[in-house]
Each structure stands twice: as C-alpha cells, then as structure tokens.
C-alpha cells in the first residue's frame, strides 16, 4: 500500500505506518505530536484516546508505552489501516468507527490525542469529503478544533491531558482560550516551521487575501497545544 501525497507539509516521516489510498499519511504534524506524547508522563495502563487516528501511528506509539488505547476515525479505511498497523506492531488497540467522540460517549480517559483537520478551506466547498476530510476544516480552519475544545474536557479524568496539533493558520490562541474557558490549564508546548505542501501552495493566494497568511511568510508553523484538567 502506498501513502497519499503530503497534503500540506513535507515528506519526512519518522512515524512509520502502512497507509492505504485516501487515508492521512503520518507527516510532520504527526511527528511533532508523537514527540510530545513520548515526553508526556503517562503511567502504564493509562486510558488513551486517539481521535481522528488516520493510519493509527499515534495510537500505536501510545500502545507501545503500555497504555490502553482506543482509536477513533470516521473513515472505514482509516479504521482498517489502524487495525492492520496495530497488528503489525504487535500491540493491542481498540479501534472504533465514528464521528469524533461519538463512539466513546460515557467513557473517560487519562489522555486524549488529536491531529484534527485544521487547514482553512475556501468558502463554498461545503463539508469536506473523501481524503480531504483529513485536512479541510472550514473557512477559518476550526470546524473540528472548536468541537474538540468544547467536548474533550468532559471525557477527561481529573488530571487528564489533551495533546493536539494544529497550524498557526487556524488560531492557536483561540484553542488556548476555549480550553481555558472550559477550566483547563493550556499552553503551546512545541512549535515547528515547515515548507508549504500541495494544498497550501494551491490556496496561498486565497490565504493571503484573507489575511490568514502574512505576505512575508513562506512557511507554515505547526504547534502542539497541551491542556490539563485540574485535579
């Protein structure tokens, strides 16, 4: 199976997965979030949710650390890819198909991982379909981010943590503000600048016209947001 072309970043991948066509392939944002995951002091046996798991790269990374992992994706192809990659890695991962948190209502977690769609999309495209669901996120890039900020805190145990990655184009300060309003301690813990990939190059003029991309900026900044629910 071959990975899809990078949708907005480069091609370097330290997080290895088999990726069928139409499923988001691990890229710089996955790698950045995986680095934050590895540094997070999660005790063995912790319950971890990887929402929007894609090929399951983050779910497998968490499972290798001894966590009990549940992975969710709206795409059946992603569900199958995650099951296959967990099997190849020899780690247990519970995989569920569904829209964001819907399959895990009533459960609680110690850690929630999210690499959601966050690329702003021109108006008039409607809700994304197919592979574009992995990156298109409405006119401001916050179609899924706002829902995560609104719904994730209720699924956390006291002391639980959300780790999510997004682009600076989609308003990290809004993410921080919404999570803090929900009672969480939130901060940007990692940053990385990367070259534009095919989608951002295609939308560059539109992004600059919207004021989402400064005229002198020729790279995209990715950030990891860490939010903790007080005990």
DSSP string of 121-137?
Answer: --TTS-S--GGGGGTB-
CA quadruple 132, 133, 135, 139: dihedral sign? positive
**pLDDT grade, residue 24 (50/70/90)?**
confident
At 61 the pLDDT is 96
Mean per-residue pLDDT of the chain: 89
What token pair was written down for 176? 């921080």
- Which position has the token pair 């944002």? 29
At 9 the pLDDT is 38
Q: Which residue has better confidence, 133 or 205?
A: 205
**pLDDT grade, residue 4 (50/70/90)?**
very low
Listed range (63-72, 84-93, 138-147) with the worst mean pLDDT: 138-147
Sequence-distant (≥ 6) Cβ neighbours of residue 173 within 8 angstroms = none
What DSSP element (H or E) covers 28? helix 28-39
Q: How far apart are CA 183 and CA 119, in angstroms?
A: 26
CA-based nearest residue to 140, from 206, 76, 72: 206
At 128 the pLDDT is 62
CA-based nearest residue to 93, from 75, 74, 115, 73: 73
Q: How many CB atoms lie within 10 A of CB 124?
A: 6
Beta pairing partners, 70: 49, 94
Within 13 Å and on the Cβ side, how many CA atoms surround 77? Answer: 15
CA-based nearest residue to 114, from 29, 15, 12, 14: 29
Beta pairing partners, 48: 69, 111
**pLDDT grade, residue 167 (50/70/90)?**
very high
Q: How far apart are CA 22 and CA 119, in angstroms?
A: 17
CA-based nearest residue to 172, from 19, 32, 59: 32
Beta pairing partners, 15: none
């Amino acid at each position: 199976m071959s990975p899809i072309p990078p949708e907005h970043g480069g091609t370097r991948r330290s997080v290895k997965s088999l990726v069928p066509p139409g499923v988001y392939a691990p890229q710089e944002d996955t790698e950045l979030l995986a680095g934050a995951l590895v540094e997070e002091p999660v005790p063995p046996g912790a319950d971890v949710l990887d929402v929007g798991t894609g090929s399951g790269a983050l779910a497998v990374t968490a499972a290798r650390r001894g966590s009990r992992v549940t992975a969710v994706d709206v795409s059946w192809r992603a569900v199958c890819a995650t099951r296959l990659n967990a099997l190849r890695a020899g780690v247990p991962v519970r995989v569920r198909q569904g829209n964001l948190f819907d399959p895990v209502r009533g459960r609680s977690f110690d850690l929630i991982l999210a690499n959601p769609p966050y690329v702003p999309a021109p108006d008039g495209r409607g809700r994304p379909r197919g592979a574009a669901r992995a990156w298109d996120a409405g006119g401001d890039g916050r179609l899924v981010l706002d829902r995560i900020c609104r719904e994730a805190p209720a699924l956390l145990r006291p002391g639980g943590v959300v780790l999510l990655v997004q682009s600076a184009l989609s308003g990290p300060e809004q993410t921080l503000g919404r999570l803090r309003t929900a009672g969480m301690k939130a901060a940007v813990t990692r940053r990385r600048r990367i070259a534009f990939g095919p989608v951002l190059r295609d939308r560059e003029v539109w992004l600059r016209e919207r004021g989402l991309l400064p005229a002198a900026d020729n790279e995209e900044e990715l950030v990891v947001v860490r939010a903790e629910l007080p005990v």
